[in-house]
Structure 1
Amino acid sequence: MHRHPFPEPLPRNLLVGPLVAAVLALLGGPPAKAEEGGGGTLLLRHGGGAPVEAPRLAADAAIAVSGPTARATITQAFRNTTAEWVEGTYLFPLPEDAAVDAMRLVVGDRVIVADIRERQAAKRDYEAARAEGKTAALTEQQRPNLFTNAVANIAPGETVLVQIQYQQSVRRSGDTYSLRLPTVAAPRYSPAPPPVQRTADGPAEPDPVPDRHAITAPVLDPARHAPINPLTLSVDLKAGFTLGAVTSATHAITVEAPSARERRIALTDGATAADRDFELTWTPAPGTAPAIGLFRERKAGADSVLAVVTPPAAALPAAPPPRDVIFVIDNSGSMGGTSIRQAKAGLLAGLDRLRPGDRFNVIRFDDTMETIFPDLAPADDGHLAEARRFVASLEARGGTEMLAPLRAALRDADPEGTGRVRQVVFLTDGAIGDEARIFSAIAQERGRTRLFMVGIGSAPNGHLMRHAAELGRGTFTQIATVDQVADRMRDLLLKLESPVVTDLAATFSEEAEASPAALPDLYRGEPVTIAARMRNATGTLTLTGRIGGQPWRTVLNLDEAETGTGIGIGKVWARARIGEAETARITGRMTAEAADAAILRLALEQGLTTRLTSLVAIDATPRRPAGTRLARTDLPLNLPAGWDFEALFGRDLPQDPVSTRPGRRAEHGPAELIPASTRSISLPQTGTASDLLLLTGAGLLGLALLLRARLPRVAP
């Protein structure tokens, strides 16, 4: 580990981002609702000890899009407002395909660059540094889209910055490109562990969520406390083609246009609560959409190649084959609020698109499940009317036991097909902790069924939704707001009715390690994306398949690939290969030992955070005086926007702003938030120069606003 000035010149967003985040942290973010007698201060209990004031947290996201990939820097500012030394742990989400490869810990004028190490070794080194009084940070992956940061030995009155960087690919569907940044880790339902006992046939079943304590955190009740953890965000968009519309359906944004091919995007309000996914979409100017995107990047003596190809659309057949469609709707507690309304509207739209000759059924689930008809019913007026009444009556409640309804939907009484298309449309926020069981069931039981996942709400589990759709050879659609229901369900239902591109295969003329190894079926407007690594990107890539029953073939000359530097294709390729190895382990196509060996080799070679590797940064000099208490806390999270706290955790709660209700949250370990008005002890007050800090923060914000006002703006 190093202790030195910045090892290389930092890009502008890496320097400005921490300043903005630090100022927000000093000012405390959005004003909290004043509790009676307490002024809104958040206190944390942990391990039965005395309550400790929660550290403040603010974050800044700076994202640079370069053609097919994006590079993001997330800066988290941990502000210790107490007179005690503190260790803070924060649970946060990232995109499901994020290749996390760098972390810096900034303490005052010292910058400590993290190393990638095997997970257990990184954990031991962090814990040793914590015990020695050294400031240290540890970034661990809990799921491909869920991470934790632990920061030890934050001094009284001190702000510590943790900067994380990752690479990801840009999504494309038809002529629309998109980028998504999750900002809050939604509470996840974890099925109860089995009894700890042996049976006549051997040991009891393993815990479906063995790491349940690692994927939970205190959750604020929005009825009792204002949002915390403010987020600032900027995007530097260089699309590689002339741009048309640049929009966000989830946040108000300002858009500047330095050139026809570039945009600079920021949040209109400057800072926002971290309580929903940020989504940005852009389209090419008319007539400029690339049919084929072919890119290459050379690094460490090898070429990485990324090909994005949209096959030509096939005409709809005159008489589409009859379909058997099973709709599954999640009505668990996490779907309370606007989510259940979105899901019900989406399902009703699906019912409206059924045709004479189709058959259907509807399954609803929480911690129970119910099927409206005993078997598939004809899509006639009587059965459709009964289904609409059933859907209209649904309310959000209970836990999220997803495995049983999934298996019921996949169960096929006619596995040979007899000329009917079988499809499952699954509407959920995916807020569960037992993803591995879901993936395994899909891989083993999908048969001829195609599974279409519809992610509902402001913070769906993208890892579950996207990967389940890939395993089920369907597609993933996200509906973040009620306004998106009609358009996005229409696009999805058109895919269900459209012929697919089948029997896809990719062949390189030269030796290459390609991902995915097996290409999926494609639906109308869906591109095929292939990442590969090879010694030299020469020769050709041939794609073949069948569209509407007719052969299709295209040949790409790799010598004509657009050459880029710093666009991170190699990281994207490695992350995809790691994901394939994880899937092979879960579904039994690779032994656990072989999969782990492949994942560890790629992670250490590419410097990536995975299930088996972590980033750890440790300052060289002990700072906390020997014998001084270290208060340990889990930082609280906002409830995702639109969620109903009482539907999620129940109404019989003590008067505190978070829930520790079993089933949704872990049964042991996490800190518990209590409102300041209920505290019965006096905490030591911080000894910082608060007036000076407030004046400094106000001055910096005023300067930023003045500079921003002088910059030209272009409306989106």
Structure 2
Amino acid sequence: MPQSPAPRPLGSSHSGPGILAIRRALVPAIVLALGAPLAVAIHSTAAVADETAVDDAAPDDGPAAGTLMLRGQGVAKSLPAVRLGTDMDVTVTGQVARVRVTQAFRNTSDKWMEASYLYPLPQDGAVDSLKMVVGQRVIVGHIEPRAKARETYEAAKASGRKAGLVEQQRPNMFSTMVANVAPGETVLIAIEYQAPVSQANGTFSLRLPLVVGPRYTPPLTLGSAAAVEDADAVTAAPVLDPALGARLGGRRGEGLNPTSISVHLAPGFEVANLISRYHRINVAGATDNRTVTLADTTVPANRDFVLDWRSASADPALGLFAQHTDKGDYVMAAITPPANLDGLPRPPREMVFVIDNSGSMGGDSMEEAKASLIHALGTLRPQDHFNVIRFDDTMTRLFEHSVSATSDQVALATRFAESLQAQGGTEMLPALKAALDDAGTGGGTSPEVLRQIVFLTDGEISNEREMMAAIGDDGGRSHVFMVGIGSAPNDFLMERMSTIGGGVYTHVGAPGEVAAKMTPLLDVLSHPAVRDLSVRVEGGSLDLTPSRLPDVYAGRPLVLVGRSDKLSGTLTVSGNIGGKPWVQRVDLSAALPSPAIEKLWAHRRITDVEADRALGKLEDDRADAEIERIGMEHAIVTRQTSLVAVDETPARPAGARLTREELPINLPAGWDFEALFGQDAVQAAPGQEGTGSLAAMQAQALELPQTATGCLGLIGKGLALLLAGMTGFALLLRRRAA
């Protein structure tokens, strides 16, 4: 497992709807029933065993400092006993997405197994449902305090009963555990969550994270209690050796961890410019009721799925939605600031660019980051001041302090950016502190100078809490704009840092979209924001989130979610932009009905609590108690509450041992495997009997029918598999509303 180098001193150098319905019901079952080679077992670079008897499991000592860290992490080189496949079924109504994620765990061994899997979800998603399907039985999960839920799960596991447990490790990182899977058996775990659809510059966007990137644990920060807690909360998973993909057929890594995705898009207006940024898709249906499926039926879970669309009308209606419950009334309002700010004065700026050139940025990510930085440098004006800081496990300031953006200085910075190579660990905190200290020097000390920090990184670290605290300690002197780089950045960290820092978050996921993503961001940076915001309700009252109102930028709506005993009155949002007053009013009685607002409000209230905790404004015990209270009241998974499901019928015989596996994760697409784990880790996987035939069966099963004959053939295959024991998935679909 790679250790970070010893720290050096800072400053060193379209298909039809009928087929869609069939695909939804059968593809996940087919994939798993065939035992497709979807994952690999735990193998560290020291060749540890791939299976662990639960009774003999060693205690976990927590993360080692200075490692690219997921507990127990290593390079997986063999197929596991438990295989995994995932299906994602999404319905977008208005500006909220409801997502069902079905994970199928199939035990291909002759042993009783327990499996755990680490996976990402949107950082603003509220998980509120768990169902476990065992044969013909559907076991509905319930919310419990985290410790109690774990006790319930462990007791069921010990007594031989099947159990499922869903825990939050980070707001964007969850784990599923399933116990007592019999030899040859498939158990389905279905979770559901809802998340807001993002909007920027008139484009709506749905992001479905598919992979968790390896996290770096900084060695110099583990003396901090907050950092230790952050590191301990990141649960383990081995990283897949991409060489194994070559043995399974197709391109390097193809066919591993397949995921199927379908999206029903009903935003309430006619859709235009519907695109998938990183995956090929088929589109069917009317313009206001689109259905989107993957053109390749399944894809490896190695990069985020992103779907973008716009309204066919020039000015879609204001997003205003309400939900009435026995807990009160809830409302979500998207307030859009002025789009044209060209007539307003542009203040002089001091810009500090921080670029990550650590090992996790190897491959496409490094090229994307460099191109983004060079693009930004080209927009500097002579009256601006700037500096560039690069970091891995060391740090270099290009200039001692910020300098004028002369053509010579910009050219020097461009050459500096072009020379960067990815290597070493990810010591983000010293670089952030240096940028915060640098802002306000070298000609940028005048009060009218706008201080901006542009941070380009994948954000794959464990000490997120320390990063947020450092920005809070800056006291708002600087505005922090995060640019997430790569196929699967840590959006939790990016969103929180930009929110606390009074900036915005932008994602650059491929080299070809640098200009398309950076140009709107740089336009935001060059115009004044709506500042000094205040919100009031005339003729009513609202408990609003976020509790601390951010600056609002052109093209990026302010989304408010509120709770009231009875929804009424007028919502008034006011502020100033370029020294001029700005006011917008919304009649709350005009809100459209939506069933999703309550959970979103609860999740955002927890986000407020977590922010207060990270900024030192709320003690840990009080924060934990408040998070547990909200999680239990609104039945959502949080850091302090979990979902657990237990089948009351004992399954495992008393004398049978239970073996545990931690299923591996793919390396995010575009990452450089050798840069992370070294050349010695890249080697062909050991030969395994049956690998070729499994790959052939998988390829046959995953053919998407193009004609009626193909469709009937798929139905026949599907029915045969269902009769062989996969009826549980269809049963889940029939009972999903239960």
Equivalent position of 1:218 in the other structure = 238
The match for 1:587 is 615
Structure 1: how far apart are the matches of 2:39 and 2:330?
48
Instruction: Sort the Cα spacing of 1:614 and 1:407 in 2 relative to 1 into closer, same or farther, 3 A.
Output: same
SS of corresponding position for 2:241: coil
State the secondary structure of the residue aligned to 2:167. Answer: strand
- The structure 2 residue matched to 1:181, chosen from 195, 205, 208, is 208
**Are residues 1:25 and 2:23 paired?**
no
Question: Which of these residues, 467, 470, 485, is aligned with residue 441 of structure 1?
Answer: 470
1:628-659 Cα offsets, whole Å, 9 max, x none, are: 11111100111110000111222343857xxx
CA contact (8 A) 2:392 2:424 kept: yes
Determine the C-alpha separation between the residues in 1 that align with 2:425 and 2:385. Answer: 29
Q: Which residue of 573, 583, 591 maps to 1:553?
A: 583
Q: Please state how far the C-alpha of 1:15 moved relative to its aligned partner.
A: 9.8
Evaluate the alpha carbon distance shift between residue 375 and residue 25 of structure 1 in structure 2; reply closer, same or farther with a 3 A threshold: same
How many Å separate the matches in 1 of 2:39 and 2:345? 60
- For residues 624 and 499 of structure 1, the distance between their equivalents in structure 2, rounded to whole angstroms, comes to 64
- Of stretches 695-704 and 264-273 in structure 1, the one that deviates more from structure 2 is 695-704
The answer (yes or no) to whether the contact 1:104–1:163 under 8 Å persists in 2 is yes
Q: Is the 8 A contact 1:14 1:62 kept in 2?
A: no
Letter in 2 for 1:262: N
Equivalents in 2 of 1:450, 1:700: separation in Å? 48
Identify the match of residue 475 of structure 1 among 489, 504, 507.
504
Instruction: Report the AA paired with residue 134 of structure 1.
Output: R
Matched residue, 2:525: 496
Contact 1:30 1:230 in 2 (8 A): no
Query: Could you tell me which of 608, 624, 627 is aligned with 1:599?
Result: 627
2:258 maps to 230
Structure 2 counterpart of 1:249: 277
Counterpart of 1:486 in structure 2 is 515
Offset at 1:514? 0.8
Question: Would you say 1:610 and 2:638 are equivalent positions?
Answer: yes
1:528-569 CA distance string (max 9 Å, x none): 1110111111111111111222111122111111123x3x11
Q: Does 1:338 align with 2:364?
A: yes
Preserved contact between residue 215 and residue 433 of structure 1 (Cα < 8 Å): no
3-state SS of 1:389 partner: helix
CA contact (8 A) 1:25 1:58 kept: yes
Change (3 A) 1:68 1:553: same
> For 2:466, what is the secondary structure of its paired residue?
helix
Larger mean Cα displacement after TM superposition, 53-62 or 98-107: 53-62
Per the alignment, residue 390 of structure 1 pairs with 416
- Residue in 2 that maps onto 1:536: 566
Structure 1 residues 248, 707: CA separation in 2 closer, same or farther (over 3 Å shift)?
A: farther
Per-residue deviation at 1:215? Answer: 2.8
Within the candidate set 371, 375, 378, 2:404 is matched to 378
Identical columns (%): 44
Name the stretch that deviates more: 12-21 or 230-239. Answer: 12-21
What is the alpha-carbon root mean square deviation over aligned residues?
A: 3.1
Q: Secondary structure at the match of 1:250?
A: coil
**Residues 28-87 of structure 1: CA deviation (Å, up to 9, x unaligned):** 447899xxxxxxxx9824489999834110000001001011100000001111111111
Q: In 1, Cα distance between the equivalents of 2:555 and 2:699?
A: 53
d(CA) in 1 for partners of 2:556 and 2:277?
A: 21
State whether residues 230 and 465 of structure 2, in contact with CA within 8 Å, keep that contact through their aligned partners in structure 1.
no
What is the aligned partner in structure 1 of residue 293 from structure 2? 266
* Whole-angstrom distance in 2 between the partners of 1:696 and 1:640: 26
Is residue 18–residue 75 contact of structure 1 (8 Å, CA) maintained in 2? no
Cα offset, 1:409, TM superposition:
0.5
Over residues 181-229 of structure 1, what are the superposed CA-to-partner deviations in whole Å (9 max), with x where a residue is unaligned? 0001111111237788xxxxxxx86653554474331111213433421
Residues 1:136 and 2:166 are matched in the alignment: no
Q: TM-score, normalised by structure 1?
A: 0.86
> Matched residues in 2 for 1:586 and 1:695: separation?
48
Q: Secondary structure at the match of 2:400?
A: coil
Q: Please tell me whether the aligned partners of residues 18 and 77 of structure 1 are also in contact (alpha carbons under 8 angstroms).
A: no
Q: Quick check: 1:333–1:649 contact (8 Å CA) kept in 2?
A: no
1: CA distance, partners of 2:380 / 2:712: 55
The DSSP-based 3-state class of the residue aligned with 1:75 is: strand
Report how far residue 406 of structure 1 moved: 0.4
Change (3 A) 1:704 1:325: farther
Structure 1, gaps ≥5 residues long? 1-11, 34-41, 197-203, 657-674, 711-716
Structure 1: distance between partners of 2:460 and 2:483: 13
Distance 1:554 1:271, change over 3 A: same
Greater Cα shift, 295-304 or 66-75: 295-304
- Give the Cα–Cα distance (whole angstroms) in 2 for the partners of residues 68 and 360 of structure 1: 38
Counterparts of 1:666-677 in structure 2, within 5 Å, are 675-677=685-687
Structure 1 CA distance for aligned equivalents of residues 188 and 23 of structure 2: 13
Q: Deviating runs (4+, > 6 A) in structure 1? A: 12-16, 30-33, 47-52, 193-196, 693-696, 698-704, 707-710
- For residues 365 and 703 of structure 2, what CA distance do their matches in structure 1 show? 41
TM-score w.r.t. length of structure 2: 0.83
**After superposition, where does 1:669-688 map in structure 2 within 5 Å?**
675-677=685-687
8 A contact 1:442–1:471 mirrored in 2? yes
How far residue 162 of structure 1 moved from its aligned partner, in angstroms, is: 0.2
How does 1:140-539 map onto structure 2 within 5 Å? 140-192=167-219, 207-209=227-229, 211-212=231-232, 214-225=234-245, 226-227=253-254, 228-257=256-285, 259-290=286-317, 292-317=318-343, 320-411=346-437, 412-413=439-440, 417-509=446-538, 510-539=540-569
1:706 to 711, 718, 725: 711
- SS of the equivalent of 1:53 reads coil
- Counterparts of 1:113 and 1:26, CA distance in 2: 23
Describe the SS at the equivalent of 1:97: coil
For the residue of structure 2 that corresponds to 1:135, the secondary structure is: strand
CA contact (8 A) 1:410 1:446 kept: no
For residue 120 of structure 1, what is the aligned residue in structure 2?
147
Q: Distance in 1 between matches of 2:257 and 2:218?
A: 29
Structure-2 separation of matches of 1:542 and 1:632: 55
Instruction: Determine if contact 2:230/2:462 at 8 Å carries over to the other structure.
Output: no
Distance (Å, rounded) in 1 between the aligned partners of 2:548 and 2:521: 23
| Cα pair distance change 1:406/1:234, threshold 3 Å | same
Structure 2 CA distance, aligned partners of 1:357 and 1:376? 12
CA distance in 1, matches of 2:582, 2:398: 42
Distance 1:613 1:193, change over 3 A: farther
In structure 2, do the counterparts of structure 1 residues 14 and 90 end up closer, same or farther at CA, with 3 Å as the change threshold? farther
Q: Is the 8 A contact 1:54 1:635 kept in 2?
A: no
Task: Please state whether the residue corresponding to 1:148 is helix, strand or coil.
Answer: strand
How far, CA to CA, are the matches of 2:340 and 2:364 in structure 1?
A: 37
Please give the alpha-carbon distance, in whole angstroms, between the structure 2 residues aligned to 1:368 and 1:286: 50
The residue type equivalent to 1:187 in the other structure is: P
Secondary structure of the 2:679 match is coil
- Aligned-partner residue type, residue 181 of structure 1: L
Query: Take 1:616 and 1:626, find their aligned partners in 2: how far apart are those partners?
Result: 23
Report the Cα offset of residue 465 of structure 1.
Answer: 0.4
Distance 1:591 1:32, change over 3 A: closer
Aligned pair in 2 of structure 1 residues 614, 68: CA closer, same or farther (>3 Å)? same
Structure 2 gaps, min length 5:
1-18, 41-47, 59-77, 246-252, 716-738
CA offsets 1:465-501 (integer angstroms, 9 cap, x no match) = 0111000000000011111101111111000001111
2:593 is aligned, of 554, 558, 563, to: 563
Secondary structure in 2 matching 1:546: strand
Change (3 A) 1:13 1:575: farther
Distance of aligned partners of 1:49 and 1:473 in 2 relative to their CA distance in 1, 3 Å threshold: closer
Question: What SS does the corresponding residue of 1:186 show, helix, strand or coil?
Answer: coil
